[in-house]
Amino acid sequence: MSETGGYWAAVAATYSRRRLLRAGGAGVLGAAALAGGLACNAKKPPAAGVSTNQGGSEGTPKPGGTVTYVSGNAVPNFDVRTVLSVGIYSFATSVMSRLVRFPIGSELKSDSDLTITPDLAESWEQPADLMSLTFKLNKGVKWQDLPPVNGRELNSNDIKYTFDSYKSKGAHTSYFDALDRVETPDQYTVKFILNQPFGGFSDGLAVPVQLVFAHEIVEKDGDLGSTMVGTGPFMLSKFERNVGFTAVKNPNYFRKGLPYLDGFSYPTVDDDATRRASIRSGQADYITVDFDQTDDLQRSNPNLVLLEAKEPRSGRGLMMNQTKPPYNDVRVRRAISMAIDRAAVLKSTLGGHGSLSYATPWFYWTDKEPTQDQLGPYFQYNPAEAKKLMEAAGYKDGFKDTLIYWHYEASVDSQVALVQAQLKQNLGIDLQVTFMNYPEYFTQYTSHKWTGMFWGFQIGSSNTIDDFTYQNVLSNSEANYMYMADTEIDRLAKAIRVEGDAAKKKALIKQMMEHEHDQAFRLWMPYRNQYSVLQPHLKGVRALPLLRTGGNDYGGASRVLHWNAKA
């Protein structure tokens, strides 16, 4: 069992629920998406009164047909070595494969199942000393028949090339600092030699950002930024920046009989209202929405289906450049934290449908979902004490600064505005707020060069203990975009990674959470539950926590099991 398997047993299977929605009315996708040929199979909405069952009795999957997933997440570039962005992985995970992965669709024992599952590897073993991990590859796996790889067979050298690259430079280096070297005893065997005991190494290989790529692309282009060829169920057929993707079925996919779909479209449409209009009109088969948009859809057609997955952690919040004044002063950070009424933010912007705000999923460090009063004094709303801290730090009248953000959902706009108003009213902090488009926002945030405040994130693909307690927080980690550089956090991160006892590991994670809340390094904000809306003919979709649903998030591999009942 994976290192995370025991913890995930604590997550209720009821995190996912389904209910019928009413939807209808006219609406179209953006003109660029339509002109680019990315809206396929536009249809009138189903007739009123038709019901659907998206649970366990969806019927026998039917091959054929296409599906349109409409997203607001544009793509910075294709280079999976250097970019950890939902914009690329939500698509790339349908085209490329991993050594191992997490279960999807009908494979899941529960919505919280994170059992390590074969992908390119058919089997693996790790010795008792946890110093290595050996994988046996599936034989006969072919790269997609596209240049420059041209359908050759996958071999162990491809795995070595990929992970040597991830280890040497780019966005993955901190994970692979536990990797000493990769050996290839034969064409179908890969052995990872570690430099420290690490029982969770296979968990990290299963997250959706650890995709295997071909050396021919790098040799031809110099990088992976403009060519995407994989071994996955779908092949890239068209891409236009800020417009979207189309993909077609890979006829040589190594899992026989899959995928069910002939292809799918993935238009990127920034405007939230336009995305909702697209699902009403039938041009879209799948979108995500905020909780307060579901009532509007309910007043329309009764046939759309809503999936909800409760999130056990926060993915976004107020980040500060702690290398410079005023944020290098813990009193200022604590004051800002205490000046934000998180309970009001959760209620007014999410209607209570979300997690309160903590970086690491609660079930990794406590037995019950914590209440706000259990998260330390600086997590409480206390403007009076916040003002005293600001005065003691020399900022009695506040200060001016900048805040950059991008609206993943409409609720983010509301949260930013509310936090801006609370900091102005309670502390005299005057923030000039700047909205950026997603590629610009992502590039600036991950550059490690931003200043002031940023409505930032931790990588959405984070699933494992190592993601939350090592990759995202270690001082020198590439995925630590928040300017955290704390010796106690680093000590705990390294201790958690090598601790083999589950109870002791859980206690160490709790220490890390308590220390982060005490120091107010990252001011996480209430985080919405996932709401996905889909047409009743789209089958095989599961709503899962931690961005694993399989629409326009990090669960793109799930599309291999999606099917169109109208095909």
Specify burial of residue 448 (Cβ count, 10 A radius: 0-12, 13-18, 19+).
Answer: exposed
Give rounded-to-5 percent helix, strand, coil for the chain.
30, 20, 50
pLDDT at 299: 79
Q: Considering only the C-alpha atoms of the chain, give the largest distance between any 2 of them, rounded to a whole number of Å.
A: 68
The CATH homologous superfamily to which domain 5-309+529-564 belongs is Periplasmic binding protein-like II (3.40.190.10)
pLDDT at 256: 95
**Residue labelled with tokens 């996958």:** 154
Please answer whether residues 549 and 555 qualify as being in contact, where contact means their C-beta atoms are separated by less than 8 angstroms: yes
CATH of 316-528, one of 3.10.105.10, 3.40.50.620, 2.160.20.10, 3.60.20.10: 3.10.105.10
pLDDT at 57: 47
pLDDT at 552: 67
Q: What is the 3-state secondary structure (H, E, C) of 338-405?
A: HCCCHHHHHHHHHCCCEECCCCCCHHHCCCCCCCHHHCCHHHCCCHHHHHHHHHHCCCCCCCEEEEEE
pLDDT digits (tens, 9 = 90+) for 31-82: 334 333 333 332 333 332 222 224 334 789 999 999 999 998 888 788 899 8
453-457 and 244-249 strand pairing: unpaired
Give the span between the Cα atoms of 87 and 344, in whole angstroms. Answer: 30
pLDDT at 519: 98
For 448, the token pair is: 């490690």
Give the span between the Cα atoms of 517 and 513, in whole angstroms. Answer: 6
Question: Average pLDDT for residues 468-479, to the nearest whole number?
Answer: 92
Question: Average pLDDT for residues 233-256, to the nearest whole number?
Answer: 95
φ, ψ of residue 353 in degrees (nearest 5) = -90, 75
pLDDT digits (tens, 9 = 90+) for 509-566: 999 999 999 999 999 999 988 889 999 999 999 888 887 777 767 788 999 999 999 9
- Average pLDDT score, the chain: 87
pTM as predicted: 0.79
Residue of higher predicted confidence among 95 and 290: 95
Kindly tell me if the per-residue pLDDT of 390 is higher than 80: yes
Question: Average pLDDT for residues 97-101, to the nearest whole number?
Answer: 96
Q: What angle separates helix 330-338 from helix 410-427, to the nearest 10 degrees? A: 110
pLDDT digits (tens, 9 = 90+) for 481-506: 999 999 999 999 999 998 888 899 99
- Hey, which bits of 86-168 come out as E strands? 100-101, 117-118, 121-125, 132-137
Residues forming CATH 3.10.105.10 domain(s) in the chain? 316-528
Kindly tell me if the per-residue pLDDT of 7 is higher than 90: no
Please answer whether residues 353 and 294 qualify as being in contact, where contact means their C-beta atoms are separated by less than 8 angstroms: no
pLDDT at 13: 33
Residues forming CATH 3.40.190.10 domain(s) in the chain? 5-309+529-564
Residue of higher predicted confidence among 303 and 399: 399
Maximum mean pLDDT: which of 49-53, 261-265, 345-349: 261-265
Residue partners of 274: CB distance under 8 A and separation at least 6: 27, 28, 29, 30
Residue of higher predicted confidence among 53 and 313: 313
Give the span between the Cα atoms of 238 and 37, in whole angstroms. Answer: 9
Which among 490, 439, 463 is positioned nearest to 547, based on CA atoms? 463
